[in-house]
Amino acid sequence: MKIFATLARGSLIAYTALFFAFIYIPLALIAVYSFNANPVNMMTWTGFTTEWYAQVLGFKTKISENALYLESTSQLVEALWNSLIIATSTTAIATVLGTAIAIAVYRFDFFGRRFYRTIMFMPMLMPDIVLGIALLIFFVNSGINLGLKTIIIGQCTFLISYVFIVVSARLAGMDRTLEHASADLGANEWTTFRKVVFPQLLPGVVGGALLAFIISMDDLVITYFIAGVDVTTLPMFIFAMLRRGIKPEINAIAVMMLTFSFVIASLGLYLRSRQK
């Protein structure tokens, strides 16, 4: 009996270890193989090199003499730049709008409140391909040229949802008696908002903004449909590369992107755990 209990416990722990291995070993593999010198088969180790990184970052390397690679590097930089412009704009818009609606729904009593609360989940739940083509049809029919502008608008539709959810979670957990205390002590509404509500809300707003930024940087499907022919974002660039055939520098790009989002996400989650 005791042996069985120990065995059951042991196998559960072993299973969980496997679970994490399944999640993280692929990520570790790509990090290791991004330093593999073999230009043909990336999974056959032939030696250590940092050339792929140098290549991606635009330094001159032996391989970069090849014109094809040079071209892709400049495209990569442009795609990255586009992604950053888009992510910054969408984050700003979605954070303001998402926070506004969260405050409206959680601090005001009005007809249709429940409706708003439900409808705000829809853009997030909507399969991205449906939203992507709906936006495409809409933009083309209304004569708006596809480009950065349409990507920013399109991404905002669902990013508002994410910000709304993060900020409302914060609002729902806030102690309203503090606001009453502030009003009781003679502060007007605006002062109460500035001095009491907003400082408490801020971690939620920052969290929502970080989430919006990361998701915007990573969005492929919706952007893919409404980007038009001239604009390419980072995920689209990699997607196109993958569809054409795999070249070793994708490894390096992938690792850099992973590192970037790991750092941002860890920072966000760390901040969230700190405020408790």
Partner 1 sequence: MTSIAFRRRAQLAVLLGPVSLFLAVFFLGPLAIMIVTSFLAPGLYGGVEWTWYPHNYGRILGFADPMFEDFDPIYIAIFLRSLKIAAMTVLATLLVCYPAAFCISRLSDRWKNFCLFLITLPFFTSLIVRLFIWVLILRPTGLANEVLIGTGIVSRPLDLIYTDGAIILGMVYVFIPFMFMPVYASVEKLDWTLVRASLDLGAGPIRTFLRIILPLTAPGIAGGAVIVFIPALGNFVVPAILGGAKVMMLGNLIEQQFLAARNWPFGSALAMMVMTVMLVLLFIHVVVSGRRGFDPATGH
Partner 2 sequence: MRDSIVRLEKAAKAFATPEGQTVTALDAIDLDVSRNEFLTLLGPSGCGKTTLLQAISGFVQLDGGHILIDGEDMTDRPPYRRPVNTVFQNYALFPHMTVGENTGYALEVAGVAKAERTKRVGDALRMVGLEGMEGRKPRQLSGGQQQRVALARAIIARPKLLLLDEPLSALDKNLRQSMQIELKTLQHELGISFIFVTHDQQEALTMSDRVAVLSGGRIQQLDTPRAIYDQPKNSFVATFVGASNLFEGEAGSGQLVTKDGLSISHGRQGATGAATALIRPEQFFIAQSGDSAPGLDVDLEQIVFVGSTFELFGRTVTGRRVIAEIPAMRRSLVGEIEQSRRARLAYDPAAVHLLPAEAA
Which residues of the shown chain bind partner 2 in the complex (CB under 8 A)? 1-2, 5
Please give the distance of CA 153 from its chain centroid, rounded to a whole number: 16
8 vs 21 by CB, closer to partner 2: 8
- Closest distance to partner 2 from the beta carbon of 2 (Å): 5
* In the complex, minimum distance from the CB of residue 223 to partner 1, in angstroms, rounded to a whole number: 11
Euclidean distance between CA atoms 232 and 225, whole angstroms: 11
- Nearer to partner 2 among residue 2 and residue 274 (C-beta): 2
The label of the residue with tokens 């009781």 reads 184
Q: State in angstroms the smallest separation of the CB of 130 from partner 2.
A: 35
* Percent of the chain as helix, strand, coil, to the nearest 5: 80, 0, 20
- Based on C-alpha coordinates, what's the Rg of the chain? 24
Using CA atoms, how far apart are residues 246 and 40, in angstroms rounded to an integer?
9
Closer by beta carbon to partner 1, 47 or else 245 = 245
Tokens 């502008």 sit at which residue?
A: 149
For partner 2, the closer CB: 8 or 172: 8
Decide which of partner 2, partner 1, none touches 214; Cβ closer than 5 to 8 Å per partner kind: partner 1
- 160 touches, from partner 1, partner 2, none (C-beta below 5 to 8 Å by class): partner 1
Query: Of 50 and 261, which has the nearer Cβ to partner 1?
Result: 261
110 binds, among partner 2, partner 1, none (CB under 5 to 8 A by kind): partner 1
In the complex, the smallest distance separating the C-beta of residue 65 from partner 1, rounded to whole angstroms, is: 26
Contact 201, 167 (CB under 8 A): yes
Q: Is 127 helix (H, G, I), strand (E, B) or coil?
A: coil
> Which of the listed partners (partner 1, partner 2, none) does 5 bind, with a CB threshold of 5 to 8 Å by partner kind?
partner 2
Give the shortest CB-5-to-partner 2 separation in angstroms.
7
The neighbour count for residue 257, using CB atoms within 10 Å, is: 16
Min dist CB 19 to partner 2, Å, is 25
Q: Which of partner 1, partner 2, none does residue 2 bind (CB under 5 to 8 Å by kind)?
A: partner 2
Query: Which residue's CB is nearer to partner 2, number 7 or number 265?
Result: 7
DSSP string, 195-263: IIIHHHHHHHHHHHHHHHHHHHHH--HHHHHHSTTT---HHHHHHHHHHH---THHHHHHHHHHHHHHH
> Quick one: what does residue 106 bind among partner 1, partner 2, none, with the CB cut-off 5 to 8 Å set by partner type?
none
